[in-house]
Structure 1
Amino acid sequence: MGGAMALTLAALAYPSMLGLSTVSSSQSRIIAQTQWGPLTEADRDFVVKVRAAGLWEYPLGQIGLQKGSTKGVKTASEHLVDGHAALDASCRKIAPMLNITLPNVASPQQVGFVNQLKGESGKQFDTDFANILRMTHGSIFNTIAKIRSTTKNSLVRALADQANDTVLDHITVMEKTGLVDFDQTIFNQTTPPKLPSSDLTPPAPPAGQPEVVLTPPPTATSTPLDLGALGGGTGGGTGAGLTPSPVPSAG
């Protein structure tokens, strides 16, 4: 990959681009008490990040099914569509329960990246597709682990479990394409540039706008969270039936 592409890849590695730039210096600050446990800024941001990830990786999976020129890329594309449809359904289930506003479009930087791959084809598309998605999934993998190990909210914890399994699967299928440049990918993951928050933050949906739904494929194997199995009050909250305090929107 050339210098320009390497710079683009490095920019995409910045973790907050996966949904929301940091809105507070204290991500551990509790912003709501819910029956599923306290909700912190980091918890809220994580739910938005998972939603935003699907808003650009799901369409990239659809593009990969059309443009991919190898079996490995097409298989990886199938996994993207399948996995992110299920993750998105989980986000849309728990967001209203936690009073979290979800975006309907990805960040400007993410949208620009999707447009970039739309303009590529053949070997260039396959290679950039595999390397960019391997890197971005590698970046969010660390965020998932941190949330899973620190959250006291049982809904967020369940989403982190699902996200962990999905992202690990996507990392694996990208590697199986045989196109990943590990040296470049790891460098871009660990040396992200500083980007304007306006490029990293998806806009809040206009009032009354219908919620975007990522439709599962006919052969879907991934499933959304079973909220009935989670129960309430298991995360250290103040009891079932408590309505969460208003939470700032994602935008």
Structure 2
Amino acid sequence: MLVSRKVAGTLFLGGGIAFTLGSLLYPSMLGVQKVSSAPDRVIARPATGPLTEADRDFVVEVRAAGLWEYPVGQMAVQKGTTKAVKTAGEHLIAGHGSLDAACRGVAGELGITLPNQPSPQQQGFVAQLNADTGKQFDADMATILRATQGQILSTIASVRTTTKNSLIRALADKTNDTLMDHITIVEKTGLVDFDKALSQSANPPGLPAQDTTPPPPVAGQPQVVLPPAANSKVSPGSVGGE
């Protein structure tokens, strides 16, 4: 039996979805603190195993991460001032292009509705980095990415060890491989302010839920696709490789 739900929980890289079966709503609240009252609640029982609220939120969190980190990767390739920053951008593009395809595939099989835009908070990261130039862009990109990437690691570990759904397990494995590659390559820029990144990761700001919730997709709107980079030499999932 599907249970109607209006509140979902995530971490700093917030995200929210609505299950397309029955009358479940796109969550009205999502945020940097866990607000779900029952993350272990089973909301569907597909052939691949029970699907919980936490599983569902994880799929959308992966999607939301790609929707803002992919364009940041494009910025890094275009205006990064060092080879290391440009290489980090290439990894973001290749990694999220591949991961988003897997995420959309899992969402389609499980009937999960995905957002087409990141949260307002994540859009703010993109706007800040778009306005940055030169060395300031390089430094801000490395630190912001490292802070957000550090947080989602705990989410992956939690979902991977608790989910009973085989598709979610496979997505968690792929997300972990992609994330470790991105963390490694961002750190190789030598520009991460670790004090700031770790502080933001451990103590995310208590933003209003509307700032950390990706808007629901517009009815009839085509699903946004993050294409793999043409002629990319980066192999998604090969940690730290160039």
The answer to whether residue 102 in structure 2 is matched with residue 90 in structure 1 is: yes
The residue aligned with 2:15 is 19
Q: Which amino acid aligns with 1:17?
A: L
RMSD: 1.4
The answer to whether residue 187 in structure 2 is matched with residue 175 in structure 1 is: yes
Contact 1:19 1:48 in 2 (8 A): yes
Q: Distance in 2 between matches of 1:110 and 1:215?
A: 20
Identity of aligned residues (%): 60
Q: Distance in 2 between matches of 1:95 and 1:192?
A: 27
Match of 1:47 among 38, 59, 63: 59
Mind listing any 5+ residue stretches in structure 2 that lack a counterpart?
1-9, 17-29, 238-242
Q: Distance in 2 between matches of 1:183 and 1:115?
A: 23
Q: Which amino acid aligns with 1:168?
A: M
The answer to whether residue 181 in structure 2 is matched with residue 185 in structure 1 is: no
Displacement, 1:216? 0.3
Q: How does 1:132-151 map to 2 (within 5 A)?
A: 132-151=144-163
Which is helix-richer, 1 or 2? 1
Q: TM-score, with normalisation over the residues of structure 1?
A: 0.81
Q: Distance in 1 between matches of 2:212 and 2:199?
A: 20
Aligned length: 210
Q: Which has the higher contact order (CA 8 A, sep 6+)?
A: 1
Provide runs of 4+ in structure 1 moved above 3 Å: none
Contact 1:18 1:50 in 2 (8 A): no
Match of 2:235 among 215, 221, 233: 221
Q: Distance in 1 between matches of 2:46 and 2:123?
A: 33
Secondary structure at 1:18's aligned position in 2? coil
The answer to whether residue 125 in structure 2 is matched with residue 113 in structure 1 is: yes
Displacement, 1:107? 0.8
Displacement, 1:193? 2.0
The residue aligned with 1:211 is 223
Displacement, 1:94? 1.1
Match of 1:30 among 38, 42, 52: 42
Q: TM-score, with normalisation over the residues of structure 2?
A: 0.84
Q: Which amino acid aligns with 2:236?
A: S
Displacement, 1:16? 4.2
Moved more, 22-31 or 157-166: 22-31
